[in-house]
Chains A and B, each alone.
Chain A
Amino acid sequence: MFRTLLCRCALLLALGAGTAQAALAPELVEGLAASDFSARMAAIEALATAGPSAVEVVDALEEGRFGTVEGRAVIVRGGQVIDLATGEALEVEAAAVGIVRLNNRLRRAASTARAGLTLETGSEGERLAAARTLAENPSEALLPLFRRVLAGDPGEAVRDLVTQAMARVQLASADPAERRAAAEALGTSSSRVVLAMLEPLVERDAAGNWREPDESVRAAAADSIQSIERRVAFAQGVGMVFSGLSLGSILLLAALGLAITFGVMGVINMAHGELLMVGAYATYVVQNLFRQHLPEYFDYYVLAAVPVAFFVAAAVGIVMERTVLRFLYGRPLESLLATWGISLVLIQAARVTFGPQNLELANPSWMAGSVELFAGLSLPWNRIWILGFSVFVLVLLWAMMQKTRLGMFVRAVTQNRAMAGCVGVPTGRVDMLAFAIGAGVAGLGGLALSQIANVGPAMGQGYIVDSFMVVVLGGVGQLAGAVSAAFGLGIFSKVLEGWTGAVIAKILVLVFIIMFIQKRPQGIFALKGRFVDQ
Chain B
Amino acid sequence: MQNRRTFIKSLVLSASIAAIGMPMAASAADTIKVGILHSLSGTMAISETALKNVALMTIEEINAAGGVMGKKLEPVVVDPASNWPLFAERARQLISQDKVAVVFGCWTSVSRKSVLPVFKELNSLLFYPVQYEGEELEKNVFYTGAAPNQQAIPAVEYLMSEEGGGARRFVLLGTDYVYPRTTNKILRAFLNSKGIPDSDIMEEYTPFGHSDYQTIIANIKKFAAGGKTAVVSTINGDSNVPFYRELGNAGLKATDVPVVAFSVGEEELRGVDTKPLLGHLAAWNYFMSVDNPENKAFIAKYRAWAKANNVPNADTVVTNDPMEATYVGIHMWKQAVEKAGTTDTDKVIEAMGGQTFKAPSGFTLTMDKTNHHLHKPVLIGEVREDGQFDVVWQTKEPIRAQPWSPFIQGNESKQGL
Contact = CB atoms under 8 A, between A and B. Distances in A.
A456 B250 contact: no
B267 A108 contact: no
Most buried by A among B212, B251, B281: B212
Interface in B238-265: 238, 241-242, 245-246, 248-251, 254-256, 258
Nearest to B254: A104
Interface in A368-394: 368-370, 372, 376, 378, 380-383
A357 B46 contact: yes
B393 to A, nearest CB: 8
B322 interface: no
Given A105-B163, A192-B221, A370 B382 contact: no
A37 B163 contact: yes
B215 A498 contact: yes
A363 B226 contact: no
A380 B249 contact: yes
Contacts of A236: 218
B272 A360 contact: yes
Interface in B187-244: 204, 206-207, 209-212, 214-216, 218, 221-222, 225-227, 238, 241-242
Given A363-B273, A453-B242, A502 B215 contact: yes
Interface residues of B, number: 56
A416 to B, nearest CB: 39
B62 interface: no
A502 B312 contact: no
B162 interface: yes
Nearest to B392: A103
Given A101-B390, A247-B212, A370-B249, A196 B46 contact: no
Contact of A370 (B250, B312, B313): B250
A354 B272 contact: no
Contact of B238 (A355, A368, A378, A454): A454
B163 A107 contact: no
B251 A454 contact: no
B164 interface: yes
Contacts of A15: none
B164 A360 contact: no
Given A368-B249, A378-B250, A502 B273 contact: no
A494 interface: yes
Given A101-B390, A368-B276, A453-B242, A107 B46 contact: no
B312 A355 contact: yes
A145 B334 CA distance: 67
Contacts of B46: 356-358, 456
A359 interface: yes
A458 B54 CA distance: 24
Nearest to B48: A356
A171 B111 CA distance: 56
A159 interface: no
Contacts of B165: 104-105
A35 to B, nearest CB: 12
A318 interface: no
Given A354-B312, A363-B273, A453-B241, A380 B211 contact: no
A422 to B, nearest CB: 43
A453 B245 CA distance: 8
B235 to A, nearest CB: 12
Contact of B162 (A105, A354, A455, A458): A105
B207 A358 contact: no
Contact of B49 (A191, A356, A456): A356
B329 interface: no
B43 interface: yes
Contact of A103 (B163, B211, B241): B163
A37 B162 contact: yes
A118 interface: no
A419 B275 CA distance: 58
B271 interface: yes
Interface residues of A, number: 58
B115 to A, nearest CB: 22
A243 interface: yes
A360 B176 CA distance: 25
Contact of B245 (A192, A353, A452): A452
A196 B225 contact: yes
B207 A455 contact: no
Contacts of B281: 104
A178 interface: no
A239 interface: yes
A171 B241 CA distance: 40
B2 to A, nearest CB: 26
B258 A355 contact: no
A533 B279 CA distance: 61
A371 B272 CA distance: 22
A351 B43 CA distance: 11
Contacts of A339: none
A320 to B, nearest CB: 22
Contacts of A363: 245, 273
Contacts of B49: 356
A501 B215 CA distance: 9
Most buried by B among A103, A362, A378, A381: A103
A181 interface: no
A358 B238 contact: yes
A32 interface: no
Contacts of B311: 355
Interface in A232-289: 236, 239-240, 243, 246-247
Contacts of A354: 312
Interface string A135-162: 0100000000000000000000000000
A498 B226 CA distance: 20
Interface string A318-329: 000000000000
A494 B215 contact: yes
A356 B41 contact: yes
B234 to A, nearest CB: 16
A41 B210 CA distance: 39
B382 A103 contact: yes
A224 interface: no
Contacts of B163: 37, 103, 105
A503 B207 contact: yes
B227 A196 contact: yes
B69 interface: no
A277 to B, nearest CB: 13
A125 interface: no
Contact of B271 (A360, A381, A458, A501): A360
Contacts of A21: none
Contact of B164 (A105, A195, A355, A456): A105
Interface in A268-315: none
A18 interface: no
B221 A376 contact: yes
A158 to B, nearest CB: 20
A249 to B, nearest CB: 12
B63 to A, nearest CB: 26
A104 B45 contact: no
A355 B41 CA distance: 10
A502 to B, nearest CB: 6
B270 interface: yes
Most buried by B among A38, A357, A498, A503: A357
Interface of B: 40-41, 43, 45-46, 49, 162-166, 176, 204, 206-207, 209-212, 214-216, 218, 221-222, 225-227, 238, 241-242, 245-246, 248-251, 254-256, 258, 267, 270-273, 275-276, 279, 281, 311-313, 382, 390, 392
8 contacts: A103-B164, A192-B221, A196-B225, A243-B214, A358-B46, A361-B273, A453-B211, A454-B271
Interface of A: 37-38, 41, 101, 103-105, 107-108, 111, 136, 191-193, 195-196, 236, 239-240, 243, 246-247, 348, 351, 353-363, 368-370, 372, 376, 378, 380-383, 452-456, 458, 462, 494, 497-498, 501-503
Given A355-B312, A372-B251, A502-B210, 5 more contacts: A105-B162, A195-B225, A351-B41, A378-B250, A453-B211
